[in-house]
Structure 1
């Protein structure tokens, strides 16, 4: 390590020790070029993520001399490297240039909140519930996506296995109560834990569904706990924040290694690891994939998504969509998250005794090769 890098590390450690015990009441907005409408928009976002903070506009030279968090509304590559190295608490919230601006806001919320997840307590709750479920001696685990085929699940009985659902299935009260899920998982900063009507509606519906099924636990990456706890404190005994580790495989028993894999997408990050914790026989429903005519990532079931709120989501996070589903390469996200890497990770689990069965046809080749034609006949009709 060079002397300059060593110096930057020392300064960074000192900065971290300062901000850990700091209480904030202001955030400095550094924006070389910004319109009144953009300022208003950022103020609304700040009011959601950190309602106790006031927004003040500063130039970068004065902002870096304070301990207050800096909201940098410009391409991060334009910020001098030395500032990035020595000044912590800079958040790149420019939705025009940063595809993960939603995650930056989550980081800011965590900095300013006194609500920190107790991971040891979370692990104990999780382990106790898993032990209760394992005592049922069910031979399989069903996991459910929100593709178009999810609508057909209402016609079948899945009570012979554990049931893990995700995301906006919460919109469908009838299907939710029919499945009576053991777990609900979610893990996206803008779709589930953000400031838009899409995310707010998801959380409202989730709250209602959690009231209806008192044995459903909510599992999510720990970074979202600040947002979750605000609204879901009445269900504190069923909230399971889990840290993300540095491994990349699905067949991890979360009871023994209480970390999620460092993988993207709810299927890889949450559904498959949780299913592999519950059973060696994993059955998948609602993962239709991206048909050639689909827009954005893929087509969701209309009964299980908030398509009327998608335009706002796209407007609020334009770079997110431009980066992950570019017009000249619309299958980029699918290829990166459901292609060769997923196939290899499923194969690794399979040679360790796990089986994965796709219960209906899918446009995703990795899942389609695990399709078994007679699976709907092998479970009981409703």
Structure 2
């Protein structure tokens, strides 16, 4: 039996509805893999990557698509048309069952925006493997542009052509964006990952240019009440800060250089803040 009532189960989305799809035999068709994947990591030693979050500081990012070989954005950043035009994202990472795969009006609007941006800039979609089959079955336009990352590694791991595997963290920056950047580039710039202010009541603040309307946000609250009721935001943030610290250390041990290019409250990123001369 599987509990699928959102009023009673916080993890109903990932452990309920998506498991139903799995039990019905929904699998990920190989033809949805991008044809260019085979050469994705062949020139990492001479390339730079940007991993851009959705924090308020994302609007202060300096530079455009000519500065980075790989421009990795995530989640509702696709709402910022000016920023997307400036960056022309090569990869869009997302993976939240509530905000991206769910039945709410918010999730539906996100998927519509996703198509517009991905097709305009020929972006690849980087998603958790457990939802790739469900997405492929419902997003036929994503044919040839989806990279499924299996959340099966117990250790930090940058995905390779042979092993599209990462460590599960529950956060798109540490679960998809930075591991992918480690695979693709030697220098990795991180921006828009502001972290949590000491007086924050939610997960953390987001850029207004990246946010959907209050009505759409309320549709998420209505569709997934247990998720918000039963999440401890402070504990989540503490775990996130530890994960960022460990992941950057993993990358640096493998010869990658990290720079923080916008302000951040996250200790590991604050220590790596780039100076103007850099």
Deviations 1:163-211 (A, max 9, x none): 1111111112222122111111111111111101111111000011122
Matched, 1:332 2:235: yes
Of 194, 200, 204, 2:108 maps to: 200
C-alpha separation between the residues in 1 aligned to 2:160 and 2:170? 17
Q: CA deviation at 1:97?
A: 2.9
Counterpart position of 2:67: 160
Shift in alpha-carbon separation, 1:187–1:129, aligned structure 2, 3 A: farther
1:39-78 to 2 correspondences below 5 Å: none
C-alpha separation between the residues in 1 aligned to 2:44 and 2:163? 22
Report the number of matched residues.
275
Counterpart position of 2:210: 304
Q: CA deviation at 1:123?
A: 6.1
C-alpha separation between the residues in 2 aligned to 1:261 and 1:136? 21
Of 47, 50, 56, 1:142 maps to: 50
Matched, 1:179 2:87: yes
Q: CA deviation at 1:314?
A: 2.1
For residue 276 of structure 1, give the secondary structure of its aligned residue in structure 2.
helix
Q: Structure 2, unaligned stretches of length 5 or more?
A: none
C-alpha separation between the residues in 2 aligned to 1:157 and 1:236? 27
CA contact (8 A) 2:90 2:121 kept: no
C-alpha separation between the residues in 2 aligned to 1:122 and 1:135? 23
Of 104, 125, 132, 2:35 maps to: 125
For residue 147 of structure 2, give the secondary structure of its aligned residue in structure 1.
strand
Counterpart position of 2:21: 109
Counterpart position of 1:210: 118
Of 345, 353, 361, 2:263 maps to: 361
Q: CA deviation at 1:317?
A: 1.7
CA contact (8 A) 1:130 1:278 kept: yes
Q: CA deviation at 1:141?
A: 0.8
C-alpha separation between the residues in 1 aligned to 2:115 and 2:49? 24
Query: What's the C-alpha RMSD, in Å, of the aligned pairs?
Result: 2.3
Deviations 1:60-111 (A, max 9, x none): xxxxxxxxxxxxxxxxxxxxxxxxxxxxxx2222322321111111221333
For residue 267 of structure 1, give the secondary structure of its aligned residue in structure 2.
helix
Q: Look at both structures and tell me which one has the larger radius of gyration over its CA atoms.
A: 1
Q: Whose RCO is larger (CA < 8 A, sep 6+)?
A: 2
1:219-298 to 2 correspondences below 5 Å: 219-250=126-157, 252-298=158-204
Shift in alpha-carbon separation, 1:200–1:122, aligned structure 2, 3 A: closer
Counterpart position of 1:348: 250
Q: CA deviation at 1:281?
A: 1.5
